[in-house]
Every structure is written in C-alpha cells, then in structure tokens.
Amino acid sequence: METLTAQNIVLSESDFRKISNMVYDHCGINLHDGKKELVRARLAKRLRLGNFRTFSQYMNHVLSDKTGKEFSLLIDSLSTNLTSFFRESQHFEFLQSRFLPALLERKRQRSNFRIRAWSAGCSSGEEPYSIAISLLEATQGKGRWNIKVLATDISASVLEIA
C-alpha cells in the first residue's frame, strides 16, 4: 500500500465542491476554483493525522463529528491568519483623520459618550488592539468615553492567542 503524503492525496472536483459549499454555508468563506490546490494542500495534513485515504472519508468524519471539533480544525486549516498592528494603514489613516473626528463630534452633540467597535476576523488580536489605540488617542483629553472593542474570528486557535 502506498504511503499517504501531501503530494499523492487527490482532491476530486466533487469533494472540493462539497468542502467549499460547507465552508461557505457555515462561515461565508468563498473558496473559488483557484483555491482548490490550497484546500488540498492545507487539508492533506488533517487526512494524514486521521489516517483517511480520501477526502470523502475525511468529510464523512467531519460531518459525523457531533462535537464540531474537526470542523473547527478544518476551518483553522483553511483560514489565513495574516495580521499586524495597523495593518492596511490607509484604513487607519481614514479612521483617524476623517471618520473618528466626525463620529466624536456627533456623539458629543448628543451627549452620547459610548463607542462600540467590532473587529470581525481579528486573528491574533493586533487589529482590534490597533482600533482600540486609535479610539483612545482620538478621545484623549476630550472627556470620559465608554469604549469597547469586540474581537471575533472563525479560527479558535488564533482566538486563544488573542
């Protein structure tokens, strides 16, 4: 029997469709045809660790796992966790120079000193911390503000880091 390696694990078109549809339905991640090799390569490790010879066997396991643990591991394998402080600098420049000054002025006029922000896809936390830093800098010396930043991600492993 041939040894199972990342290179000889084949992802059929049918299995790729099942995986991409399931991931989209549960997480909203669109795995288009150009991502097929990425999916095969990243999930090959899950197949080897579970001693599955085919993606069909692996998907049956994922779907029958009532704990949802394997599905979480599948998502962790497929998600890209690229992050850094003040990543996408043009977004933070807009936030600091245009959006926050206008928001703070509107809220001051209404005596509403509460700000809530949500960082969806926060990875290991650098981006929500960057948002919090921007909010704290914008409100410094301008009264008491009640600021909260919610940080979420579909990857359980990066949330543990955050």
pLDDT in tens, 8-23: 688 999 999 999 999 9
The amino acid occupying position 57 is Q
Retrieve residue 121's tokens.
């896809």
**Contact predicate 112/143, CB 8 Å:** no
Second-level CATH architecture of 13-78: Orthogonal Bundle (1.10)
Domain boundaries, the chain: 13-78, 89-161
**Contact predicate 6/41, CB 8 Å:** yes
Mean pLDDT of 84-91: 86
**Contact predicate 24/31, CB 8 Å:** yes
Q: Percentage of the chain surpassing pLDDT 70?
A: 93
pLDDT of residue 29: 83
Least confident of 41-45, 81-85, 91-95: 81-85
> Mean pLDDT for the chain?
88
Return the active site residues.
Answer: 42, 153
Q: Provide the 10 A C-beta neighbour count for residue 109.
A: 8
Rounded Cα distance, 109 and 111, in Å: 6
- 3-class DSSP state for residue 151? strand
Task: Collect all residues with Cβ–Cβ distance below 8 Å to 151 and sequence separation of at least 6.
Answer: 118, 119, 122, 125, 127, 128, 162
**Is residue 5 very low, low, confident or very high in pLDDT (cuts 50, 70, 90)?**
low
- In CATH, what number does 89-161 get? 3.40.50.150
pLDDT of residue 1: 47
Q: Is the pLDDT of residue 101 over 90?
A: yes
Highest mean predicted confidence (pLDDT) among 34-43, 81-90, 116-125: 34-43
Rounded Cα distance, 107 and 117, in Å: 14
Q: Is the pLDDT of residue 145 over 50?
A: yes
pLDDT of residue 106: 95
pLDDT of residue 59: 93
